């Protein structure tokens, strides 16, 4: 089944936010925070596949995609979480499920910790995990810069903000036969939206991964204590977050549904139909 996708804007605390929407306005809501270096564009194919039954909302963060880039804004995981809360309030939404992928995971999880009573369920897809011992080998490349003084660390991070590195991030070492499924629009579009100010924002956000490590315990405690209904759908060809990263969630969410797919970090490009089918089954059982 397919549903129409609408492209809208809303003011959230004086910031113009672009978002994509599909589904009946009175249907249960699935909030889709995007990853890096992406935008709501990553959900363009998922929205019409689930919008017949649920209301899907995919906003662009400030400083990314087609949203504004205000000079005064807290461009951090905490700041984006507060923005997401302002976004759902602006649309009059009380409760919702969350899709947690890439940087959208620590951002969406912060929102869940802030307002646990609003969270109906979560779908975790190759998110940035809160388990230090279950990170992939490639994550060590990020950690290397953490021992440097902050100006040098930021300079090192800045080298990774280029069109070529964006391409590498989207391909993420998937098998050669999967590469043709990943459209160059992903890196071409998102690189075209980078400005000098947005480059600074990206550097600060990536640098924030170091401080984010101290927040892992709070995230794990939320999972244990709140135990939201959870679907874990994971591309095992992810060298930042491999199979062991997905399984680590079972330490705190032993009742979660775990599905390992033969794909990479950007499963909605390589395994869309499988993911949509698993989500449809999970949402049917959870959002009643």
pLDDT (average), residues 224-229: 97
Report the CATH number of the 5-136+213-286 domain: 3.40.50.1820
pTM over 0.85: yes
What whole-number distance in Å separates Cα of residue 15 and Cα of residue 83? 9
pLDDT digits (tens, 9 = 90+) for 34-49: 999 999 999 999 999 9
Query: Residue 186: which H helix or E strand, with range?
Result: helix 185-192
pLDDT digits (tens, 9 = 90+) for 76-125: 999 999 999 999 999 999 999 999 999 999 999 999 999 999 999 999 99
pLDDT (average), residues 43-58: 97
> What Cα–Cα distance (Å) separates residue 30 from each residue in 22, 58, 74, 95?
10, 9, 25, 9
How many CA atoms are closer than 13 Å to the CA of 38, on its beta-carbon side? 29
pLDDT digits (tens, 9 = 90+) for 116-169: 999 999 999 999 999 999 999 888 888 888 999 999 999 999 999 999 999 999
Q: Kindly report the backbone phi and psi dihedral angles of residue 262, in degrees, each rounded to the nearest multiple of 5, phi listed first.
A: -85, 70
Reported in sequence order, the residue ranges of the chain that DSSP labels E, i.e. its strands, are 5-12, 15-22, 29-31, 55-59, 96-102, 119-127, 230-237, 257-264
For the chain, what's the residue count? 288
Sequence-ordered list of residues with C-beta below 8 angstroms from that of 228, at least 6 positions apart, any chain: 112, 116, 119, 120, 121, 122
Listed residue (39, 42, 36, 48) closest to 2, CA to CA: 48
pLDDT of 288 higher than 80: no
DSSP state of 144: G
């Amino acid at each position: 089944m397919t549903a129409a996708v609408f492209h809208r804007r809303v003011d959230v605390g004086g910031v113009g936010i672009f978002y994509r929407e599909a589904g009946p306005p009175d249907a249960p809501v699935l909030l889709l925070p995007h990853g890096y270096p992406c935008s709501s564009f990553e959900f363009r194919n998922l929205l019409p596949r689930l919008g017949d039954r649920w209301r899907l909302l995919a906003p662009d963060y400030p400083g990314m995609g087609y949203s504004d880039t205000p000079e005064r804004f807290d461009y951090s995981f905490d700041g984006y979480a507060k923005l997401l809360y302002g976004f759902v309030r602006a649309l009059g939404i009380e409760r919702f499920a969350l899709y947690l992928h890439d940087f959208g995971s620590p951002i969406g999880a912060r929102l869940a910790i802030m307002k646990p009573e609003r969270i109906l369920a979560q779908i975790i897809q190759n998110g940035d995990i809160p388990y230090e011992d279950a990170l992939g080998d490639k994550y060590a490349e990020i950690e290397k810069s953490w021992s440097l003084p902050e100006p040098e660390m930021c300079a090192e991070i800045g080298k990774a903000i280029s069109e070529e590195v964006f391409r590498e991030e989207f391909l993420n070492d998937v098998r050669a036969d999967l590469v043709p499924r990943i459209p160059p629009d992903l890196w071409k579009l998102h690189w075209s939206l980078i400005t000098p100010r947005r480059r600074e924002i990206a550097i600060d956000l990536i640098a924030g991964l170091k401080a984010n490590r101290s927040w892992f315990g709070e995230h794990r405690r939320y999972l244990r204590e709140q135990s939201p209904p959870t679907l874990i759908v994971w591309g095992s060809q992810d060298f930042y977050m491999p199979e062991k990263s997905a399984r680590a969630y079972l330490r705190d969410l032993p009742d979660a549904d775990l599905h390992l797919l033969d794909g990479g970090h950007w499963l909605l490009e390589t395994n869309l139909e499988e993911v949509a089918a698993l989500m449809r089954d999970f949402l049917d059982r959870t959002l009643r």
